[in-house]
Each structure stands twice: as C-alpha cells, then as structure tokens.
Amino acid sequence: MELIHAFGGTLNPGLAPAPSRKFANPAPLGLCAFGLTTFVLCMANVQARGVTNPSVVIGCAYFYGGFIQLCAGMWEMVLENTFGATALSSFGGFWLAFAAIETDAFGIVSAYGDDINGLNNMLAFFLIAWFIFTFGLVLCTLRSTVAFFLLFFTLDMAFLLLGIGHLYPTDAGAPNVGVTKAGGVFGLLSAFFAWYNAFAGLATKENSLITVRPIPMPWNLGYKATKTKSG
C-alpha cells in the first residue's frame, strides 16, 4: 500500500503520488539550490577557518538559491504541488531579498547610516518573519518523512537563532557571535538535509548503486495504515 502524505506533488520523495502530467521532478533542483546556498552562507556564520565576510554567497543567492529555486517552485505549480511551489518559490524569494540587502547598489544597508541599532532590529524582524513562515511549513511536514521534517525544523531554528543574534548584538553593533554560530550550525544541518532529500529524489536503481528509502514519521497516515494491516 502506498504511503499517504499531507500534501501532493513530488517534493517529498517516496510518499508522493504520480503527477497527472509527464514532467520531470523539479524538487531535487530546488532542494540542491537551497542546500548549496545555505551551506555557503552558514560556513561564514560559524566562522569556519576564520571567515566572517559572507559576500561570496551573494552570487549564489541571486542565481542559484534565488533564481533557480524560484523557477523550481514555479515548475512545482505545474505538477500540482501547492506545498512544493510555496516552499521553493518563497525561499527563492528569500535568497533574492538577502542578496539585495547585501548589494550596495540597492542602498538598503546604507540607508540606515550610523543607526546600527535600527539596522540590527530590522534584520532581526526580517529573519523572525521567516522563522514564523517556516514554522507553518514545519507543521505541514509532521506526517511526511523524518528527513523532510528535519529539513524544515533545522531551518526554522536557524532563522530563529540568527534573528536573536541581531536582536542582541555586541556593544560594537555586530550580531551576537555565539547565537549566530549556533544558527549557522542549524543552517548547515538544514543544508545537508536538503541535499539528502534531493538525492532521495534523484537516485534510482537505474542510475545509482545507492538509493534512499524514505522513513515516514510514526504518525504518517499511510504508515499507520500499513502497520495496522500487517499487524
């Protein structure tokens, strides 16, 4: 018996029904775009090898995490996957917005001048808003797979901690290092879970010696039905 899940489409490997149209699955592309861009940024957040300037991620944020992920989200619309379209398109928009904030030509940061406190507060509000949005997505993964739930849960924690880091900066006005590093760790976990889910959607018996078997959440309706039938 096929496992039943809480939303349609193919973003959640192994639990989704076949789409009514013959198109390739865009979810792995969107997940890879998200995972790679998140990984690059969070390596700076955790200050790996002493790096504190994340400017290199701006290119990824515009073209891979932003544009490509936004395209993948729109293609999820074609596959009748409301959740996939909402999640991938929204986070594509997040990366484009992040890149705009970090781009001097937009004048967003310079608009605050010497008001470092105001800038930190607004960046905190920006991140906390994404924490609230992602929390809603977390609730929509409670009956999916363990890896899929952990992807959004760790991302949600990353947004929360990074937001708190800006709410309680140092005396010099820099984000709180300890909290930001903790947020970076959760971001790195989220990146790897994104890659894991992408691999689950890409790897088949025809193209890979290694495939991923989805592990459903214990309260997944299809999982419960299968256990009841087998028992």
Tell whether pTM > 0.85.
yes
Is residue 229 scored above 70 in pLDDT? no
- Structural domain boundaries in the chain: 27-230
Residue pLDDT, tens place only, 153-171: 999 999 999 999 999 999 8
Alpha-carbon distance of 188 to 138, in angstroms, equals 17
- Burial degree of 121 (CB within 10 A; 0-12, 13-18, 19+): middle
pLDDT, tens only, 24-79: 899 999 999 999 999 999 999 999 999 999 999 999 999 999 999 999 999 999 99
Distance separating alpha carbons of residues 158 and 134, to the nearest angstrom: 10
pLDDT band at 191 (very low <50, low <70, confident <90, very high): very high
Q: In 3-state terms, what secondary structure has residue 149?
A: helix
DSSP string, 155-223: HHHHHHHHHHHHHS--TTSPPPHHHHHHHHHHHHHHHHHHHHHHHHHH--TTT-S------B-TT-HHH
| Count of helices and strands (H, E) across the chain | 8, 0
